[in-house]
Amino acid sequence: MTDQNPFSKLGRPMNAPSKELDTFPAPANVTSVEFHTDELTSFCPVTEQPDFNTLHIEYNPDKLCVESKSLKLYLWTFREERIFGEGLANQIAEDLFEALQPHSIRIVLEQGIRGGLQMNAVAEISKQ
């Protein structure tokens, strides 16, 4: 019997992060897709202290949507990365925009309070 599962992650045991994002055709009449997580972590590139982030993803699909398990494994890849929060928001926006080619994408990263400061970064990309 041939494997008919078109996804590289969904329905398969996975125990490691992956930069590969699976996509599927956007259903008709879906104009907005949102994901939220408070499980995005990374490290400060200077102090090497852990950063705990809340992430909001919203995109307006054109032809493709992202499969959620592959998105989770993609976000896991940042767990050991040393990157400023602003750069992290931008990297996620760029990677998702490249994979999905949506009409637009908006990433809001809320970094956990460190040193008494709350930092939010917004990255937005739209088709011209």
Q: Which residues are catalytic?
A: 44, 51
Alpha helices for 32-126 (secondary structure H): 68-76, 85-100
Strands (E), 14-114: 23-25, 33-43, 50-60, 64-66, 104-114
